[in-house]
Amino acid sequence: MATIEAAGLAIEFPLYHHNARSLKQRILASSGLRLKQDADNRVVVAALRDLSFSIGKGERVALVGPNGAGKTTLLRTIAGVYEPVAGMLRVEGEIGSLIDPAAGMDSLLTGRENVVLRALFRGMTEAEGRALADEVAGFAGLGDFLDVPTRGYSAGMNVRLAFAMATAMSPNILLMDEWFLAGDADFMKRAEERLAQLVTGADILMIATHDMTVVRKWCTRAIRLEGGRIVADGPVEDVIEADRA
């Protein structure tokens, strides 16, 4: 059973390590939209404001919206990186995260060693990691490159490896940022098959993207974020059409 529920969720990034006073005067005077002062007089960026939604099993959700709308922050919050300053978040199901392909990777280790390292990150043992590496090898299609340090990989190869790793752990909830579109046509076809397989049953896919063809093809629901708020939430066509109108 995979579910994601949020009520009144808010994330604020304090701006530390700056000259707070001059920054305050300069920015608060001008915009005042997303930058504000919190109770302790700090300048904070309100990254997500009062989000409430509920995502159930089998839903494939596209997060759309302009740059800086809070899409990646929302993905990271759901992954459990940031603790909300207000509101409630509840996530049930194992999370596979494809937010940054380089996360937790060591570019001096080979692809295979990186898979084992990732397995350790997930709390598995080395033996389980090596078993996983064989599984990943089959899907990533990197051939001999799997035993080459990843610093010698192209961007696309990194994406293949990251995607294969994240999906091989059979997550219930897959969080994805749009960088994975860097794969070639052959890989994209296989990725699509794999996602289709993954999302049947009790699983959730959540993807942040600007590419409307991806949204139309893969998703059943779209959430439009703007300035850290949800401005539209519903079936893909409704949300996208509302935008065009």
Partner 1 sequence: MLNTARPTHGFDAANPRRRERALEDLAGGLARWRLAWALARSDITHRYRGSILGPMWLTLSTAVMLGALGFLYAKLFRIDMTDYLPWLTVSLIVWNVLNQVVSDASGSLTGAEGVIRQMPLPYSVHAMRVVMRNALIAAHNLPLIAVVFMIFGVAPSWYALLAIPGFLLMAVAGFAAALFLGMACARFRDIPPIIGSVMQVAFFVSAVIWKPEMVGHWQPYLPINPVFALMEAVRAPLMGSPGGITVWLAAIFWTGVMVVIAWAFFVRFRGRIAFWV
Residues in the site for partner 1, rule: CB under 8 A? Answer: 10, 13-14, 16-17, 76, 79-95, 97, 99-100, 102-104, 106, 108-109, 117, 120-126, 128, 132, 169-170, 172
Please, what is the minimum distance in Å from the beta carbon of residue 160 to partner 1? 19
CB 207 within 8 Å of CB 56: no
Give the nearer residue to partner 1 in terms of CB position, either 90 or 189.
Answer: 90
Please, what is the minimum distance in Å from the beta carbon of residue 202 to partner 1? 12
CB 75 within 8 Å of CB 154: no
Task: Give whole-number Cα distances, 5 to 8, 217, 233, in Å.
Answer: 10, 25, 14
CB 202 within 8 Å of CB 212: no
Structure tokens at 124: 């598995």
Give the nearer residue to partner 1 in terms of CB position, either 9 or 230.
Answer: 9
CB 61 within 8 Å of CB 52: no
The candidate with the shortest Cα–Cα distance to 207, out of 175, 231, 183, 179, is 175
Give the nearer residue to partner 1 in terms of CB position, either 16 or 67.
Answer: 16
Sign of CA dihedral 91, 95, 99, 103: positive
Please, what is the minimum distance in Å from the beta carbon of residue 103 to partner 1? 3
Please, what is the minimum distance in Å from the beta carbon of residue 100 to partner 1? 5
Query: What's CA 235's distance to the chain center, in Å?
Result: 20
Structure tokens at 148: 């080459």
Please, what is the minimum distance in Å from the beta carbon of residue 197 to partner 1? 16
Give the nearer residue to partner 1 in terms of CB position, either 123 or 143.
Answer: 123
Give the nearer residue to partner 1 in terms of CB position, either 16 or 245.
Answer: 16
Give the nearer residue to partner 1 in terms of CB position, either 119 or 230.
Answer: 119
Residue 219: CB atoms within 10 Å? 24
Task: Give whole-number Cα distances, 233 to 103, 130, 192, in Å.
Answer: 30, 42, 24
Please, what is the minimum distance in Å from the beta carbon of residue 134 to partner 1? 13
